[in-house]
Chain A
Amino acid sequence: MAAPARQSGPSIMTTREQAASEVSSGGAGRNVRLTDENRLALYTMMVDIREFEEQVQRSYLEGLVHGTTHLCQGQEAVAAGACLALRQDDYVSYTYRGHGQCLARGMDVEAAFAELFGRETGVCGGLGGSMHLTDISRGLIGAFGIVGGGIPVAVGAGLSAQLAGRGQISVSFFGDGATNIGAFHEAMNIAQVWRLPVLFVCENNLYGEFSRIDHTTPFEDLVRRAAAYAMAAVIVDGNDVEAVHEATAEAADRARSGGGPTFIECKTYRHRGHSRTDPAKYRDPAEVEAWLARDPLITYRAGLEAAGVLPVGEADAIIESSRSRMKAAAQQAAAAAWPQSHDFAAATFA
């Protein structure tokens, strides 16, 4: 894994060849920050995110989820790896494709399902929905349905952290598409000029909604955006959970000690379409196949089994257990009452 810059100026790996060289190393066992217990926790968290999203999909087909959803299967390593490097009192902003971050920060899954189902027991009382899961007690300051909308907000939380002086940081998760919108650029500039403890974690899954990156963006390595702001930046294999963790941990260390922001580009892939109504038929089947072969759950499981961290066969038990837990949580959520008598005035104004 490439070390992010320690100096104040930018240090950027810009070639996909370099990123690819990291990809081949397979994951488990290289990140010296991690204990075997951490590794199992990372794997289990990725399984939980996958099983949560698969259950969301099943629940959607049962008519329990309303409107639309944006699922993150394939991108679990980014949320799991990055969030393990954070403290309880750090802040996180994320997007409408943010279920993974919520789970990785410990959101109660039954309350999350109940929110998706529009029930009274939802984490936002049924007022938010799939795109707006929020839990300030876990530093989950908000999911933003507007592309790029949460990035300046994370910068504000970073300023808050800097002013509070307790070594907190703020992390903004967003997709490749968001790097084309003004809010991203204004936020990057402010974070760098004020040396804020902010990590910009870009999940580059190659598609902004329905459009491939080469139709919308002049290059595929989005770390080049960071160079424009003289910001430290790194490309990591976003399907390698330990690489994501290490990049985040290094950037977090730097941010906590006053070293300013870092842009972390995670190369990953969205297994499903943009949203529920998108079968994603615009994608090259060969591209899909190549990325499915690099499914972070499959590769990490293989790495952990090869390293002897995960006894062969135990992964199946972890998956089965997670699936049951998600199913039970969804059933509980589906049995919860509809919101009947919200105090809308109190929800609108404090």
Chain B
Amino acid sequence: MPTEELTYREAIVAALREEMQRDPTTLIMGEDIGASGGPFKTCLGLYEEFGPARVRDTPIAETGFVGAALGLALTGFRPIVEIMFSDFLGVCFDQIVNGIAKHRFMSGGRVKVPLVIRSIGGGGLRFGAQHSQTGESWMLSVPGLKIVCASAPDVAYTMLKAAIRDDNPVLVIEHKALLSTKGDVAIGTEPDGALSGPKILRTGSDATIVASLAMVPRALAAADLLSAGGIEAEVIDIRVLRPMDTRPICKSVRKTHRLVTVEEQAQVGGWGAEVAAQVVHEAFDYLDAPPARVCLPDYPLPYSPVLEDAALPSPEAIAAAVRALM
């Protein structure tokens, strides 16, 4: 398969284009995604290629068009919706949590809901408290949803393709601070296993760092800092928050004896708590220190650049959290 260097944004567009070419029942809906290519240009060129019926600008009405996606999914289509900012997941919470997530179950497993919600979240762009949240844990306690997080161009590409082919509702969280990051993407790769769970990105023997989204590159940078000081950290991209598979993380901790989770959201109710709980349950005797969680402080993300930067977990802060366990 040809490998191309793509930005994260280009990888999203490529995945959408290929899957829409592959399956005529796919279509994408969202705010300003048509002729404008999307506020973050994540649909660039799709409108020209597939036309207004399949690349559909919606009113600013998330409840309306996310609910409509459920109706499409129940009647033979494979809709993809774009949520411009993950913060707006709150606007259509009912449709996702009470409708999309539960419809198959309530029917006795007799309907399928092949539906993708692409949601662009995350901080670091000075967008303030209502346009900077990842929302990754908001629906973590809801059975019936798959929730995945794209940390790099190749992940975004395969994960989105797999999500579109999945017969279930998948919430794909993308991070806007990653949109222009570059990486090698194996174009045309079959996305088998792309929704399967955590992936080890760097091996190490002294501590396990588990991160999501934009915290993944920061965790890798932290591992570099630690390595310079003689500490080898294993870095895992959690990738799939639901259904959560912590077996690779537990296996890693049995080797490293230390766990640090890194997530761009508040500590209470974050996925790091679930990872820590499962590691404690499954690998208690292997831990040399209590699991640590690196998160956002317990206040909304501030606007001022100096304050936002201070709030977001830095590689130095992640490295410090690991050192504190040694």
Q: What residues of chain A have their CB less than 8 Å away from a CB belonging to chain B?
A: 91, 93, 122-128, 132, 134, 136, 141-142, 144-146, 149, 151-161, 163-164, 170, 182-183, 186-187, 189-190, 193, 343, 346-350
Contact partner of A347 (CB less than 8 A), chosen from B68, B71, B79, B108, is B108
Check A155/B68 contact, CB under 8 A, given A144-B99, A160-B77, A163-B77.
yes
Q: Which residues of A contact B70 (CB under 8 A)?
A: 152-153, 156
Alpha-carbon gap, A141 to B104, bound state (A): 11
Closest A residue by C-beta to B243: A349
Alpha-carbon gap, A135 to B106, bound state (A): 11
* B94/A183 in contact, CB under 8 A: yes
Q: Pull 26 A–B residue pairs with CB atoms less than 8 Å apart, ordered by A.
A: A123-B108, A124-B106, A134-B110, A136-B74, A141-B74, A149-B94, A149-B95, A152-B63, A152-B64, A152-B65, A154-B71, A155-B64, A156-B69, A156-B70, A157-B74, A159-B72, A160-B75, A164-B76, A170-B71, A182-B63, A183-B67, A183-B94, A347-B108, A347-B109, A350-B104, A350-B109
Alpha-carbon gap, A348 to B58, bound state (A): 29
Q: Which residues of B contact A350 (CB under 8 A)?
A: 104, 109, 112-114, 167-168
Would you call B117 an interface residue if the criterion is a C-beta within 8 Å of the partner chain's C-beta atoms?
no
Q: Which 10 A-B pairs have the closest CB atoms?
A: A156-B71, A152-B67, A186-B64, A156-B68, A125-B108, A347-B109, A124-B108, A350-B167, A186-B61, A157-B71
Alpha-carbon gap, A137 to B294, bound state (A): 50
Q: Which residues of B contact A125 (CB under 8 A)?
A: 108-110
Nearest-Cβ distance from residue B32 to partner chain A, whole angstroms:
15
Closest B residue by C-beta to A347: B109
Q: Which residues of A contact B109 (CB under 8 A)?
A: 125, 127, 343, 346-348, 350
Q: Which residues of A contact B66 (CB under 8 A)?
A: 152
Alpha-carbon gap, A193 to B70, bound state (A): 19
Q: Which residues of A contact B105 (CB under 8 A)?
A: 127, 347-348
Alpha-carbon gap, A139 to B69, bound state (A): 17
Contact partner of B104 (CB less than 8 A), chosen from A122, A182, A349, is A349
Q: Which residue of A125, A128, A182, A348 has the most chain B CB atoms within 10 A of its CB atom?
A: A348
Nearest-Cβ distance from residue B166 to partner chain A, whole angstroms:
8
Q: Which residues of A contact B61 (CB under 8 A)?
A: 186, 189-190
Interface residues of B in 96-126 (CB under 8 A from A): 98-99, 103-114
Q: Which residues of B contact A146 (CB under 8 A)?
A: 94, 98-99
Contact partner of A128 (CB less than 8 A), chosen from B27, B58, B108, B113, is B108
Contact partner of B106 (CB less than 8 A), chosen from A128, A164, A186, A193, is A128
Q: Which residue of A125, A132, A144, A186 has the most chain B CB atoms within 10 A of its CB atom?
A: A186
Q: Which residue of B108, B110, B167 has the most chain A CB atoms within 10 A of its CB atom?
A: B108
Contact with A along B20-51 (1 / 0, CB 8 A): 00000001000000000000000000000000
Alpha-carbon gap, A153 to B111, bound state (A): 14
Interface residues of B in 129-150 (CB under 8 A from A): 143-144, 146
